[in-house]
Amino acid sequence: MRETVKAFLDYLTSERGLSGNTILAYGNDLYQMVDILEERGRLPRDNHGWESVDQQLLTQYSLELQEKGYSPTTRARKLASLKSLFNFLIEEGIVSQDPTEFLTSPRIGRVLPKCLSEEEMTMLLQETARGDTPEAQRDWAMIELMYATGMRVSELVSLDVGDLSLKEKHVRCLGKGSRERMISMHDQAIQTLETYLKETRPHLLSQSKKDATKESALFLNQRGERLTRQGFWLILKGCSKKAKVLTPITPHTLRHSFATHMLRGGAPLRYVQELLGHKSISTTQVYTHLAEDQIQREYDKAHPRA
């Protein structure tokens, strides 16, 4: 059965062009499902086991996820992975019926993403800009670029030097599903990146034990190698602590902040959708609610009778 899951993951990679992170999430969900059902003696340990998976079995699996304490959002994602798998199994003729057809997912309330206020964002950038070490200057350039473009952290650390077009004021970004988009940048971000490229990156590159001419990554760690997502998250937490930003922060917080502040500033929803690389505008619409909530709070604070 694991071979079938692997074939499905290969299909998602080659045919649908999903990102490595998405493939990893699908794999974790589906292999976990096989493990749980096999451990309970509910499945035969061969590729013919998929025919024995019926709606009752999957309902039991769903209940078991709930008993293990998984959140409704996580359970919904795991069940969505199952539905996608069985669509594949039907198309490939591996099963004749889809047991997920009437499987219900848990209800998920609207959870608004957290974002920094404009004042907190300014505090974070100003504090980071004060650092005079190469690492601090790199951190400033990364945070400035993320807030200027709203790109995902995986997109940020994947950037190569050749993806920047500072004269044209844009950066080329490869997003989910290998969809490429060009994102505009403001002058402050461009100036910060120019300084990073001329002064900071060469210093970091000199720390590499490899052939420096072969390193194309834009942002480098202390060893002159491409910075990782985990590395950026640790950097961001440290910068946030120094800036005394009280709102809990993750790399995605910067993306949320960018989208919310753009909409509050009057940017059209379709434009923000393109910048974020959202396939559906409904994904972007959550930020309109967040912007409205912040506007209401500012109104309540400012109006003498509020």
Q: Which residues are catalytic?
A: 152, 176, 252, 255, 278, 287
d(CA 218, CA 220): 7
| Amino acid letter, residue 93 | G
- CB hemisphere CA count around 42 (13 angstroms): 17
The single-letter DSSP state of residue 113 is P
CA-based nearest residue to 289, from 117, 116, 115, 112: 112
Q: Report the chain's terminal Cα–Cα distance, integer Å.
A: 61
Query: If we measure between CA atoms, which residue out of 261, 250, 258, 144 comes closest to residue 194?
Result: 144
Contact criterion met (CB below 8 Å) for 276 and 175:
no
Q: Which residue has the tokens 């096999």?
A: 38
Cα dist. 164→147, 154, 255 in Å?
A: 16, 16, 19
